[in-house]
Structure 1
Amino acid sequence: MTNLQNLSIEDEAFFQDLRSTEYKRLDSESPHIYLDYTGGNLYAESLIKKHHNFLLNGVYGNPHSINPTSEISTHLIEEARDKVIKFFNADDYFCVFTPNASGSLKIVGESYPFNKDSHFVLLADNHNSVNGIREYCRNKSGQLEYVPVQYEDLQINDAALKESLTKCAHAGNNLFAFPAQSNVSGVKHSLSWIQYAHDLGYDVLLDAAAFVPTSKLDLKQVHPEFVTISFYKIFGYPTGIGCLLIRKSVFHKLQKPWFAGGTVTMVSVAAPNSFLVNNHERFEDGTLNYLDIPAIKNGLEYIESIGIDRINNRIKHLTIGLIDQLQKLQHSNGVPVVKIFGPKDTNVRGGNIVMNFYNADGSIVPFETIDIIAKEKNISIRSGCFCNPGIDEINNCITNEEMTQYFVSRDEGDYHDMVHYLGKMRGATRVSMGIATTTKDLEIFIDLLKNHFNLS
């Protein structure tokens, strides 16, 4: 069996104890190797018990009233909101609760005042929920530009980004959107680009969903106008709640195109007029998830009890160990089994690793094959394009011309149709580590690959 036991990791005893108490279901009679933390974090047993008791022992009502059950729900929601603001050191921000990070991004897209003079700059490395904002920009006749990342390490092409941001500096309502950490490659893009964009008159949208589960985000140190977050990616439960942090100085720049229950101070049917609430409630349409939002405070306190820096350090060392073992896998003729995409420097990458696998003759192994063999051994990984077409197109050397020709030739299509048309493979395999990952999990994954490829 592969041996990662010699890997030097601080606080190993602490995390082993955490695994055996909070995540012992992973090591039950039917053990599970979970390596999809970027897809969704695992909830701690104590958090579920605490929230279960909360539900059993309280009476909670719709917060839009002053009755006793409504008042307690309102109080608990505001407690959770205050906790989010303190956790991210975000006193200068409004915290808007949303259904998920995608819902947060939609608020920015539909409310940002794009116009014909606007310039919307995005990295090629963005989740589709960020990419979708381009439709709002286009519909308002704004200009759109994607900035490439480098094929060699999937990091920002500095020269290209500087050129894109500079050529339309101070031109109007300009927006720059990028992820603090790639949901595919794990690359941690430098947050220094926030200030660089500010100096050129841009507002900045920071997608922090993949970053904050294992890294500290201090909004007193960096000041993006908009930050999107998903809570289940941080501590597993509850799902269905995210937040949008809006810098107070730009709050009124957002032009909400409609209103809903809970978002207005006054509305009339007799007169076609309304007044929107002048705080976070403006963007919290309808009734909030008042039974689950209180669990956010518990989840953030749980992460604080462990320490985000401690989590970050552990993930860094696990990533170093796994990359080292993957790079050692070779066929008998010397052909590498694995190609890892992204930087070699683990200081600029998080705990997700994206890769392709190869046969001894150099032919690529379909990612579906790796999915199947992992599933047979009760190992959860993730394969495909990960809702991030930019990174997939770069990794698989798919050109702008090829994609343009494909879309021009069809009124509709899907993944399999596109692969057939292009004659190229798409997709990859992603392994991501998190708070409950152990070296044994990684050893079992490596041994799975050794057995499949008949490696000694």
Structure 2
Amino acid sequence: MQSNCIREVSRACSNDCCSNLLIGLPETRSSASKVTSSGINPQHEFTTAILASIQPNSNFTNHESLPSSIELFSYLENAYPYYSTTVLADNIRAQEYNHIVVSNHVCLDYIGHGLFSYSQQQGHNFTAEIASSSTSTPPRPSDSPFFDISYKSVNLNSFLLYGGQESEFESSTRKRIMKFMNVSEEDYYMVFTANQSSAFKLLADSYPFQSNKNLLTVYDYENEAVQVMIESSKKKGARPISAVFSWPNLRVNSRKLRKLVVNKRKLSNRGLFAFPLQSRMTGARYSYQWMSLARENGWHILLDACALGPKEMETLGLSLFQPDFLICSFYKVFDENPSGFCCLFIKKSSVSELCKSCTSMGIVSLLPANESFEQLAFNKAENEQETAISQQEIEETPEQIHLKESSVSEIIELDETPHTAQSRNQESDAGRTSGEIECRGLDHADTLGLILISSRTRCLTNWLVNALMSLQHPHSENGLPLIRIYGPKIKLERGPAVAFNVYDWKGEKVDPTLVQKLADRNNISVGCGILTNIWFSEIYEEEKHRMLETRSRKKESKKKDKNSYRISVVTISIGMLTNFDDMYRIWAFVSRFLDADFVEKERWRYTALNQTTVEV
């Protein structure tokens, strides 16, 4: 992968506003915690600014006494002036995604990259309605704009080497995505899959686990797509193993992971190392040099880029490192139409490693929506013409019909040779599929750029973490916090995701699904997930039994496993279109749990309105 912005990233790395988040040795402290040559500690400066963005040293015990959004935003701008330079993102949100403003919806449960804007979708649907009125065909449904997908049952190896013909529409889409992902067409193939699970399964079905037995994954949460890959690999004889994460900060346990990667018993045919550069739930960052260490020790590298923010594939480290496989997901329109596809990138030098006899259903083709639409119109017109001819032949004599058919046949033979007929068909097909697709969502990310997006999301994420930690139950002797944050707290190097739980005044956890339901009824979308692969040292034995509410029954029946514990959590994802008001509203909503009767009040309120009762 050749970076298009190494100069930009290098300049960003010299400023505390956008240090290179992904560089760092697996067993060394983060470079952001060190003092620079100018005597400035970026981590300290950033933390100080974030802490000052809310009333300094303030704790809030009553949701009705929170400062206003306007007041806190002014604190933020004073404490962290660089945030005001990201106003371009607010302008794009207002102009191209005004449905968020109109619906007053806070959307914090999305990961991946948006392909199109809402404004673009509306224009597309309007054009489709005009076309349908002129051809007397029904308009296409608005929930399937721009393209459809069709499934293929093929062998991945054969498809890459001798694959079927690619339409111009599909080719232009592929090139646009590879450019956005900063992946070279000279070095990589790319295939479309229906979703993340399909991409992971496709790779698992095609990877030679019969000879490369190990599958090493680095995830601090339960990932459905990764689990599909694990189950598929086990059928081929693979031995799945996982990194573990140390309590309480949930950092990857470097000593244990290094031992798994550098196993001296066998120096070749290690297997597949599946590695995300950050947790999409906790926001924990991992050094890209784990991939280098794994490669040096004989592993094939799968980079899971699904949780990376826009433009992060252009960071300096990733521009230089070329994984064997890469997976990333794309959705259609943010907060409006989540359907889309996933992309599996395969390094051309790694194709020979894939199985040549395995067939999978994971690959899809993209069909432009107008092609399906125009085909429908063409079929209808053809049927109407055949009906008219049929009705006319009822009225004509046999002699007239024979003379007519002979004349038509002669005209076709004289006017249309096989060559001209083929050309006409090709021109018709080209007319339906030609034209480069406009991915305005990706264009917006390109316009904002790596520095602006990273600075904005970092500021908003850390502000929210600080705000959540400032909430404490009233009348608690030891200042009982309302919120428990899992993973990084206020930290310069953290991803734009937060995992947390709400605790009541008695110290008991509120069910994350209940928090999600109540948030949804306040027009706020958050996610739920399960943290796993947690390793507790002996000094945290008491806290372990206090914090963990469930244990894997399957593993409990066998020998004790320190990694079998699970924690259900509320999750938040922050993207380039997220703004300060979104952060304030989720904070204000969570603060309502400071009222000991909040859940019960919500139950009765919805019952009184004859709506669904919230189950506690």
- Does the 8 Å contact 1:231/1:296 carry over to 2? no
Where does residue 267 of structure 1 map in the other structure? none
The AA in structure 1 aligned to 2:449 is: G
Indicate how the Cα distance of structure 1 residues 119 and 197 shifts in structure 2: closer, same or farther if over 3 A, else same.
Answer: same
Cα separation, partners in 2 of 1:291 and 1:308, compared to 1, 3 Å: farther
Residue of structure 2 in register with 1:231 after alignment: 330
Q: Matched residues in 2 for 1:313 and 1:96: separation?
A: 32
- Equivalenced residue count is 410
The equivalent residue for 2:173 is: 80
Q: What pairs with 1:424-435 in structure 2 (closer than 5 Å)?
A: 426-435=567-576
Q: What pairs with 1:15-414 in structure 2 (closer than 5 Å)?
A: 15-28=89-102, 30-38=103-111, 44-49=117-122, 51-52=124-125, 74-91=167-184, 92-115=187-210, 118-125=213-220, 127-167=223-263, 169-213=266-310, 215-217=312-314, 219-232=318-331, 239-259=339-359, 285=363, 287-291=365-369, 297-332=439-474, 333=476, 334-344=479-489, 346-385=491-530, 389-390=532-533, 397=548, 402-405=553-556
| d(CA) in 1 for partners of 2:504, 2:311 | 34
Distance 2:449 2:299 in 1: 33
Report the Cα offset of residue 238 of structure 1. Answer: 6.8
Q: 1:175, 1:204 within 8 Å by CA — same for their partners in 2? A: yes
Instruction: Say whether the 8 Å CA contact 2:198–2:362 is kept in structure 1.
Output: no
Residue equivalent to 2:390: none
Aligned pair partner of 1:443 in 580, 584, 588? 584
**Cα offset for 1:337?**
0.5
Q: In angstroms, what is the RMSD of aligned CA positions? A: 3.8
TM-score in terms of structure 2 length? 0.59
**Residue 551 of structure 2 contacts residue 566 of structure 2 at CA under 8 Å; is this kept in 1?**
no
CA distance in 2, matches of 1:340, 1:89: 33
Q: CA deviation at 1:94?
A: 0.9
> How many Å apart are 1:317 and its aligned residue?
0.3
The equivalent of 1:14 in structure 2 is 88
Residue identity over aligned pairs, in percent, reads 26
Matches of 1:234 and 1:109 in 2, distance apart?
A: 29
Q: Which has the larger radius of gyration?
A: 2
Decide whether the 8 Å contact of 2:548 with 2:566 is kept in 1.
Answer: no
Amino acid at match of 2:243: V
Q: Does the Cα contact within 8 Å between 2:462 and 2:490 map onto a contact in 1? A: no
Q: Report deviation, 1:53.
A: 6.9
**CA distance in structure 2 between the partners assigned to 1:430 and 1:176 by the alignment:** 26
Distance, in Å, in 2 between the alignment partners of 1:213 and 1:153 is 26
| Structure 1 residue 140 displacement after superposition | 2.7
Question: Following TM superposition, by how much is the alpha carbon of 1:14 offset from its aligned partner in structure 2, in angstroms?
Answer: 2.1
Structure 2 letter corresponding to 1:299? G
Deviates more, 1:215-224 or 1:193-202: 215-224
- Deviation string, structure 1 residues 298-319 (Cα, Å, up to 9, x no partner): 4322321222331121100001
Q: Secondary structure at the match of 1:300?
A: helix
Q: Report the 3-state secondary structure (helix = DSSP H, G, I; strand = E; otherwise coil) of the residue aligned with 2:447.
A: helix
1:143 Cα shift?
Answer: 2.6
Higher alpha-carbon deviation: 34-43 or 199-208: 34-43
Distance 2:192 2:88 in 1: 33
Alpha carbons 1:216, 1:308 under 8 Å: kept: no
Q: CA deviation at 1:225?
A: 0.7
Q: CA deviation at 1:355?
A: 0.3
Distance in 1, Cα, partners of 2:450 & 2:330: 14
Q: 1:397 to 1:239 in 2, by over 3 A?
A: same
In structure 1, list runs of 5 or more residues that go unmatched: 64-71, 261-282, 409-421
2:299 counterpart letter in structure 1: Y
SS at match of 1:182: coil
- Mean Cα deviation higher: 360-369 or 332-341: 360-369
Structure 2 segments unaligned to the other structure (5+ residues): 1-65, 133-145, 151-164, 371-432, 537-543, 597-616
The farther-off stretch of 137-146 and 104-113 is 137-146
